[in-house]
Amino acid sequence: MQSQKIRIRLKAFDYRLIDQSAQEIVETAKRTGAVVRGPVPLPTRKQRFDILRSPHVNKASRDQLEIRTHLRLMDIVDPTDKTVDALMKLDLPAGVDVEIKLQ
């Protein structure tokens, strides 16, 4: 695995979970001797929904709901075999989506 890079992208609705997961990944990679760049916070995606409160009339009365998707990006430069094994064995909390790309 010479001159390769692992790009990890994390997605979650809760920023505390995503920061905790990013910290675990960084600690694991550094422990195995890899160089880590990040975590870089990417822009938060906000989805807004307007829902009518009343089932019949009162069109002006609405509830506004919002879902925020937090993103983090990190690169692991020159990973070793130990780094890949440690990352595969890492147990991250539910609610965190992980995308891993080899470049």
- Report pLDDT for 57: 87
What span, in angstroms and rounded, lies between the C-alpha atoms of 23 and 17? 10
pLDDT of 1 above 90: no
Window from 2-6, 43-47, 58-62, 63-67 with minimum mean pLDDT: 2-6
CB 36, CB 85: distance < 8 Å: no
DSSP reduced 3-state for 73? strand
What span, in angstroms and rounded, lies between the C-alpha atoms of 18 and 21? 5
Q: What is the CATH number of the domain that holds 92?
A: 3.30.70.600
Which neighbouring-strand residues pair with 52? 62
Q: Which residue has the higher pLDDT, 2 or 99?
A: 99
Structural domains counted in the chain: 1
Domain with 32, as residue range(s), is: 3-100
